[in-house]
Amino acid sequence: MGKELEVGTKVIPHNFGPLKGANGNARLQGEEREMVEFWLRFEESKIVEASFISDGDNLEAISALAERVVGLSLEEAQKVDQEDLPLALQALKEALTNLEINLLKGVKRQIKPALEEVKAPKERRTLMVMSGKGGVGKSTVAVNLAISLAKQGLRVGLVDVDIHGPSIPTMLNLPDVTVMQAADGIQPVILGDLYDLEVMSLGFLLENADDPVVWRGPLKNSLISQFLNEVAWGPLDYLIVDLPPGTGDEPLSVAQQLSGKAEGLLVTTPQAVATVDVARSVNFCRQMKIPVAGIVENMAGFVCPHCHTTTAIFRSGGGKSLADHYHLPFLGSIPIDPSMGVAGDAGIPFVQRFEESPIAEIYSEIAKRLNETRSVEL
């Protein structure tokens, strides 16, 4: 954090942005559906630093509140005069009092500031979502897997480095997002209605969604470096990196910049032409010394909504065979559902719109297996 910055017509307060070394965190929603997230750092039972992020307009008032609690103990912070708090932020006092906040859709998360013992933060897992060829539904898998992980109470970042085809803004219905720069770096877009998910994409920086990106390698590498190193992600459990297909500039740049810190997550469809291309991605990971977290098979059969018979349009079993051949974890098979395209075009991810569907359950199981599985060195 540092001095105030002016971005467009907004003045960004000095205490705007995630707080490094925070050991208390709370996310809440105001009366106007604006999201506010606070980070607190404690030393000897005192709040020594506080910062925040909000997608609302009342940044000065929130900044003043964050400043107000610095120097106070948890008990003293609980006694801050309620009349001084904007209505949208009164929930913060309740969060500090109960050490519990109500998240959207009835989901609850416990927040336990480390008043006596500061525990080391969990190491972030960075997953490079890759495919050897286009058209296998890689971005669809990346988005729905990110949300499935977030639904399980994990903090997830999703970064779209498909420079020439950034589809995530469309899939998340984010056509008119303005990216802000603060003292701590570029601020990711916080999706308040999608659990605990932060997003960054080149699509947010284009004046028009259909503008072509005519860039050579050095410009691509520069943008990828910014997205990986200069975005002020909060404390994350997972960073999902959605890559373009193949093994060209973007995957190579990400692999080099995240050397030793990333894992590959390979997406394929069942037919041989796709698995052969994904085998190239396996060999790319081997050459770049990237461990592989697992293989996901997409479009694994079509289930008729009328007779419930499964038709293997692209054959079956290719993903499992590929995983067995390379001794890699097989995370699961996702069937085709016509509603998948409808949901994506509407900007409502499938696992959010059809939460009770069999496919949403499959994504949930894949997320659980991913959490329980360690990556394999090739």
What's 202's domain CATH number? 3.40.50.300
Task: Provide, rounded to the nearest whole percent, the portion of the chain with pLDDT above 70.
Answer: 75
pLDDT of 8 reads 42
Query: How many alpha carbons fall within 13 Å on the CB side of residue 207?
Result: 2
Which of 1-10, 101-110, 325-334 has the weakest average pLDDT? 101-110
Q: How confident is the model at residue 114 (pLDDT cuts 50, 70, 90)?
A: very low
Residue 307 and residue 244 in one domain: yes
- Amino acid type, 4: E
CA separation for the pair 203, 211 (Å, rounded)? 9
Position 111 scores a pLDDT of 30
Owning domain of residue 282? 125-372
The sign one gets for the Cα dihedral 245, 168, 101, 92 is: positive
In this structure, the answer to whether residues 98 and 130 fall within a common structural domain is: no
Quick check: 111 and 95 in contact, CB under 8 A?
yes
CATH number at residue 71: 3.90.1010.10
Q: Which of 110, 143, 160 is the last residue of a domain?
A: 110
Per-residue pLDDT, 235: 86
Q: How confident is the model at residue 311 (pLDDT cuts 50, 70, 90)?
A: confident
Q: Are residues 90 and 170 in the same domain?
A: no
Give the pLDDT of residue 29: 58
pLDDT, one tens digit per residue, over 247-279 is: 888 889 999 988 889 999 999 998 877 788 888
Cα 303 to its chain centre, rounded Å, is 29
H/E run at residue 262: strand 262-268
* Single pTM value for the model: 0.68
Q: Are residues 157 and 198 in the same domain?
A: yes
- Mean pLDDT for 15-29 is 70
For residues 268 and 351, membership in a common domain is answered with yes
237 and 349 share one domain: yes
282 shares a domain with 331: yes
Residues 188 and 262 in one domain: yes
In a domain, 356, yes or no: yes
The structural domain count of the chain equals 2
Same domain, 50 and 154: no
173 in any annotated domain: yes
